[in-house]
Structures are given as structure tokens and as C-alpha cells.
Amino acid sequence: MSHPHPELTLPPALPEGALRVVALGGLGEVGRNMAVLEYAGRLLVIDCGVLFPEDHQPGVDLILPDFEYIRDRLDDIEAIVLTHGHEDHIGAVPYLLRLRRDIPLVGSQLTLAFVEAKLKEHRINPLTLAVREGQTEQLGVFECEFVAVNHSIPDALAVAVRTGAGTVLHTGDFKMDQLPLDGRVTDLRAFARLGEAGVDLFMVDSTNAEVPGFVTGEREIGPVLDGVFADSAKRIIVASFASHVHRVQQVLDAAHAHGRKVALVGRSMVRNMTIASELGYLKVPDDVLVDQKQIERLPDDEVVLMCTGSQGEPMAALSRIANNDHKISVGHGDTVILASSLIPGNENAVYRVINGLTRLGARVVHSGNAKVHVSGHASAGELLYCYNILKPRNVMPVHGEVRHLVANAALAVKTGVPADRVVLAEDGVVIDLIDGRARVVGAVPCGYVYVDGSSVGEITEVELKDRRILGEEGFISIFAVVSSADGKVLAGPQIHARGFAEDDAVFEGIMPELVQALEDAARGGASDTHQLQQVVRRIVGRWVSNRLRRRPMIIPVIVEA
């Protein structure tokens, strides 16, 4: 297996008749999935999603794939193929279309409906081509066949891309539930047929490659929900991902079976489920859905509230309910169900929500104490099936952190794929498929692009480092006006500190030394305010370090007057 982090240089020109693959996101993280295929000078983009920030990226709203590699080649893009409607696959589409609005979007009906709703908020009206499983479309030089896959959102597709250089099969996100609620299984017949014909490069979801065995079937959730509903005497609140149509379907069915009504809470939940029911993916039992006003008039034992916030997002309905800071209140005897996985990194936030709800008297049912959620990604056992059915000539694990990619690569090798045919790459690494063999040939710059407020890509690691320092240590600003004539301090020094000291009085002790040092420096011929600022920084820094054992950011501002 080629090492994920070799010392790579810019790749050579792509040889005639060869295929190039570059991931601009999703390799080395779970999110911002985006792959760019190149053949005969033309580009095909597969997915264009966002990544949500971690705690070492404070204040960041979203993280985008790095479009730099294609910025000068936007006109070469034949289309963006979207495998399914999750944010980590469609969330960055608006930012790419801002660069070129008429790139065609290709995907299933539900996927396009979700992305169009999102684009409307950005005032973009895209060109789209809706496709179904089994359908084949010629997108410029790329012949794309779409294959049904089963995932935690309906209408997900894998895509087989045929070019003169060979056939690439990209799974998108998928699992292999053999008894899915909608009966739409991952089409292993198609996988077999493609395998027979020959898959030259298999790009495969790695998210659960470390997890042994098989994902529990969605059908096993229903009875569990049913049991929870059965012994709930008062109100039931269910939190889930706003796009999980099947989970919402199960809640609607359980509510219907127990004579309860459901109100959807939260903008994204309402928007997505309205789309899903209009398109027939969500089947709403007779008048089980009511609005919030209506539900407030119902007795507790007829109420179900379906909301977002299962990851502890502080602004989401559930967190505010847990903080008693929402018009929906929770009390003794109420039941709250977190029908979702706990995404690593969200534990503190989620446990704060669970503790808050428990403190208010609610019973909280979650993946830690009941089987109310199953993953949407194939576990190791399912991936082995894929490899054996496809017998791919080359494998490229996608969608995951390094540990996931490496685990997936090991599975491929176990099924007999030669280790030197399994390409381990991270974002920006360039893979060329030449004469049926995939190799790492170089790398292009590929960084994190931060969306922060209205700024896109302006926040860099420098600002994030400043934020971490400010966030952990606070800052001290020192302001003084010195006479340009004789260097005497005319005003100040004023010291303002935030984030670490009770009050600024603590600094009075240092004032005389500061004034002295400034005037000495001036007399000593410190020719500009910059030098004076260095003096101040040194004195205050040393004092704070010795006296308070702290390393705050120090901002001296010396003005000459």
C-alpha cells in the first residue's frame, strides 16, 4: 500500500488516454467529500460537500473542499454528480456554483430536490439532470451508469464512470441492509455485472471499515421505538438528523400506531420532510402530522415532537429545550429519544443535553442505552462482500480519516487485491490510471477552506491560532501616547485585559516600570513607536508570566503626539 503521506511533488502532465483522480476533500476527514476525475482534458466532479469544524477550529461555520485545483479549469467541468443529499456531499455546491453557475448538477430526484432548496437560499437556480438507478448518461467524455445503493437517506446512488482509460466505480456513501424499509437494496447484481466487465478503479466508502461484522438492519429500530412509545405515559420528543427520512417514517408509524400526533420542529426538519413527502419518499399516515400550535392543545399522551439537535448543537431545538430555553418544555414523565449516532467529538455537548433533560425529569433514550439508531455506512463484513463480488483491479478507499482508509485498504488486500493495487491517498494526492494500473503520481496543494460569517477562505491557520491563544489565554492591550519631542508619556499607559484577570487593577503595580521604560527607551533613542511597542511587550510579557504564570496575547499600541 502506498503511504498516505509520501513527499509528493506536483504531478506530471496527464498522458494521452489516461485517467486522473484527485480528491479535494473527504480523504483524511469525515466530510467535505469531493472527487475530481479528468480524462481527455475534461473534468467530472463527484460530490461537493461540507465538513463541520472541530473544537480546534473555533468560530468556523463550515469547512469547504479546496477548489484551487480547478479554479482555472471551471469551463472543463462536464457536470457535478451528486451521490446523495447529505450535507457532507452537497453542502459546498453553492460555493462552487458561485464560481460558475451553469455547471450541470446530476443526481437522483430527492438529492436534486435537497440541493435545489439549499441553492434557493443562495439565490442560485441551477441546471439539473435527474437520473434513476439503471440509467446511463453520456456526460461529455464520461459515460456514467447510476447504481442503486442503500444509505441513511433515500435515493442514494453509486456511479460507474466509463472512459477510454477504464471504468471507475464510486460507491458514494452506502451500506448493504438486506431488508431496507423501502425495499431498495444496494444493487449487488449491478456490482457483479460491472465486476464481470471489469472495474479498473473502485472508490469505496471507508467510514465503518474499522467496525467488524454487519450493520444492524433498519427494521430492528421499529420495534424498539414501538416499545419506547408503548411505555411512555406523557409526551415523547424524538431528535434525529433532519434528512433521515426513514427514521422520521418510523416515528410517524409508531405515533400512528399509538394514537399520537407528530409536530415537526426546526426549519431544516420541516423543509426536508415537506420535500420528502411531496416526492413520495415519506408516507405520512392519515393526519398524523400537525403543526406546533395544534399539538400544544393535545393532551400529553397524544404528543410527539420530532426535532433536530441530536448532536447537541447548542442552537438546535433540543439543546434549548434541555436548557429550559424553548417554548417547548420538558418535565417529569416525558420521554426524549435521541434517534441518531453520536458523532465523535460531540460527546460533551450531547451529554450536556442528556443531563439537562434528565435534570428536568425526562427519561432519555439514546444509542447508549437502547438500539434506536443504526449506522448508514457499510461495516467490514459488508465491504468484504463488495470486494469479492467486484474483484476490482485497483482500489482507492475514500470517505474517512486515515485510520478508516487504512482499515479499508487492509480489507481489500484480505480479499486478494494485490497490496500494490490499493492506493492510499489523502486530500490533494493525484492518482493516475494508466494502462489499467492506478498509481500515486504527485500531489496538488489542498488546504482547508473556512467559511466564517460572510467570509470564505479568508480565515487561515494564523487566525485560528490567534483565536486559540485568545480563547485560552485572553489578551492585554497597552495604550500610551508619547511626546514625539521628548518621549515623555503624555497619556496612559492604559492597560485593558480580557479573558484572564478579575479586573485591570492588578496591573497598577507595573505602571511606574512601564512609564520609566518607555521614557528610557525614548531617551535611549528608540526612533519609532515600533521599538517602544517591543519594550512594552517585553516588560508586560515577563511580568504576566512571572506573576500570573500566563501567556496572553499582548497588544501594545504607542501613539506619538
Place of cell 393526519: 287
Q: One symbol per residue from 170 to 199: x for binding a copy of itself (CB under 8 A), - otherwise; what is it?
A: ------------------------------
The reply to whether 244 sits in an annotated binding site is: yes
Q: Which is nearer to a copy of itself, 179 or 485 (CB)?
A: 485
Could you tell me the three cell numbers for 87? 450535507
Q: Which is nearer to a copy of itself, 112 or 353 (CB)?
A: 353
Least Å distance, CB 246 to a copy of itself, is 27
Nearest to 556 by CA among 545, 539, 542: 539
Q: What is 36-70 written as a DSSP string?
A: EEEETTEEEEE----B---TTSTT--EEE--THHH
Least Å distance, CB 156 to a copy of itself, is 26
Least Å distance, CB 350 to a copy of itself, is 9
d(CA 128, CA 109): 10
Residue 351 interacting with a copy of itself (CB under 8 A): yes
Residue 467 interacting with a copy of itself (CB under 8 A): yes
Least Å distance, CB 52 to a copy of itself, is 12
Query: Which of 292, 329, 369, 388 forms a contact with a copy of itself (CB under 8 A)?
Result: 369
Query: Which of 183, 299, 344, 512 forms a contact with a copy of itself (CB under 8 A)?
Result: 344
d(CA 536, CA 478): 8
| CA 541 and chain centroid, separation | 39
Residue 549 interacting with a copy of itself (CB under 8 A): yes
Query: Which of 172, 266, 376, 492 forms a contact with a copy of itself (CB under 8 A)?
Result: 492
Residue 550 interacting with a copy of itself (CB under 8 A): yes
Nearest to 451 by CA among 115, 82, 57, 121: 57
Sequence-ordered list of residues with C-beta below 8 angstroms from that of 137, at least 6 positions apart, any chain: 106, 129, 131, 143, 144, 146
Residue 210 interacting with a copy of itself (CB under 8 A): yes
Least Å distance, CB 31 to a copy of itself, is 13
Angle at which helix 245-257 crosses helix 267-278, to 10 degrees, equals 90
268 phi and psi angles, rounded to 5 deg = -65, -35
Query: Which of 291, 296, 466, 486 forms a contact with a copy of itself (CB under 8 A)?
Result: 466
Q: Give 484-490's long-range contacts (Cβ < 8 A, gap of 24+).
A: 484/560, 484/561, 486/522, 487/518, 487/519, 487/521, 487/522, 487/523, 487/526, 488/519, 488/522, 489/515, 489/518, 489/519, 490/561
Helix (H, G, I), strand (E, B) or coil at 528: coil
Q: One symbol per residue from 388 to 407: x for binding a copy of itself (CB under 8 A), - otherwise; what is it?
A: -------------xxx--x-
Query: Which of 137, 143, 300, 463 forms a contact with a copy of itself (CB under 8 A)?
Result: 463
**70 exposure class (CB count in 10 Å sphere: 0-12, 13-18, 19+):** buried
Q: One symbol per residue from 48 to 67: x for binding a copy of itself (CB under 8 A), - otherwise; what is it?
A: ------xxx-xx--------
Residue 534 interacting with a copy of itself (CB under 8 A): no
Sequence-ordered list of residues with C-beta below 8 angstroms from that of 428, at least 6 positions apart, any chain: 22, 23, 24, 66, 69, 443, 444, 445, 446
Query: Which of 268, 274, 375, 494 forms a contact with a copy of itself (CB under 8 A)?
Result: 494
Q: Which is nearer to a copy of itself, 313 or 401 (CB)?
A: 401
The reply to whether 270 sits in an annotated binding site is: no
In one letter, which amino acid is 523? R
Q: Which DSSP letter does residue 421 get?
A: G
Could you tell me the three cell numbers for 424? 492510499
d(CA 306, CA 270): 10
Could you tell me the three cell numbers for 16? 494521452
Residue 358 interacting with a copy of itself (CB under 8 A): yes
Element (H, E) at 472: helix 461-473
Least Å distance, CB 554 to a copy of itself, is 11
Q: One symbol per residue from 12 to 51: x for binding a copy of itself (CB under 8 A), - otherwise; what is it?
A: ----------------x-----------------------
Sequence-ordered list of residues with C-beta below 8 angstroms from that of 389, at least 6 positions apart, any chain: 188, 191, 192, 195
Residue 548 interacting with a copy of itself (CB under 8 A): yes
Residue 468 interacting with a copy of itself (CB under 8 A): yes
484 phi and psi angles, rounded to 5 deg = -70, -20
Least Å distance, CB 491 to a copy of itself, is 4
- Among all residues, which ones are annotated catalytic? 205, 377
Q: Which is nearer to a copy of itself, 279 or 469 (CB)?
A: 469
Residue 485 interacting with a copy of itself (CB under 8 A): no
Q: What is 229-295 written as a DSSP string?
A: HHT--S-EEEE--TT-HHHHHHHHHHHHHTT-EEEE-SHHHHHHHHHHHHTTSS---TT-B--HHHH
In one letter, which amino acid is 46? I
Least Å distance, CB 138 to a copy of itself, is 39
Nearest to 244 by CA among 213, 207, 212, 218: 218
Residue 359 interacting with a copy of itself (CB under 8 A): yes
Q: Which is nearer to a copy of itself, 269 or 365 (CB)?
A: 365
The reply to whether 151 sits in an annotated binding site is: yes
Question: Interface residues with a copy of itself (CB under 8 A)?
Answer: 3-5, 28, 54-56, 58-59, 210, 344-345, 347-348, 351, 354-355, 358-359, 361, 364, 368-369, 401-403, 406, 452-455, 458-460, 463, 466-468, 470-475, 477, 479, 481, 490-492, 494, 496, 498-502, 547-550, 553, 555, 557, 559-561
User: Residues at the annotated binding site for Ca(2+)?
Assistant: 59, 61, 452
User: Residues at the annotated binding site for Zn(2+)?
Assistant: 84, 86, 88-89, 151, 173, 399
